[in-house]
Every structure is written in C-alpha cells, then in structure tokens.
Amino acid sequence: MACKKLTVRVDFLKTFVNEQLAIEDTHEEYRKALCLLLEKVLMDSGQYDGFQSYDWRHGGYDNWKKDGRPDDKTPYSGPRYKRAYY
C-alpha cells in the first residue's frame, strides 16, 4: 500500500502552535515539543523569523522598562517555552 504524500502549510502550523502556546495550563514539556517542531520546520523552510516571550509581549516589556531596564530580563519573560512566533 502506497503512502499518500501530504503537505502542511507552514503558516497553518505556526498559527496552530501559537494558539497552543497561548493556552495557560499547558504542560511545559508539551510547549517545548511544539517549539522544537515549529522551529525545525521554519528553519528548514527558510521562514524562521524569531519569537518573543508571551509574557514579554503582554506586560513584561512595560514592567522591565518601568523597573529601569535591569540586565536580567528573566523575571519579565515568563516561562521559557511560553512563546509567540512571527
């Protein structure tokens, strides 16, 4: 039996992963796996344009700026795999 070749659009995958990463109660290992998969697909297809911490985008940057832009941004960035891809 021959396998049917399927093609998934990268923008669809990126949207799906971003939606999953935005869910508050997802497990860290699940988010990590999604990030690794998406980054591999984006890099291999020449479409990787970076990511930004979800918390950084939703108030973290403003708090960091208000606190005088300390060198350690970790408390403002949130969990490592809580991201949004461009």
**8 Å CB contact between 12 and 42:** no
For residue 63, give the DSSP letter.
H
pLDDT mean over 55-76:
94
Q: Please state whether 67 falls in left (phi above 0), alpha (psi between -120 and 50) or beta.
A: alpha
Angle between helices 28-44 and 10-22 (to 10 degrees): 160
* Band (1; pLDDT cuts 50, 70, 90): low
The radius of gyration of the chain from alpha carbons, rounded to an integer in Å, stands at: 16
What confidence score (pLDDT) does residue 21 get?
95
pLDDT tens-digit map of 11-65:
999 999 999 999 989 999 999 999 999 999 999 999 999 999 989 999 999 999 9
Contact 17, 37 (CB under 8 A): yes
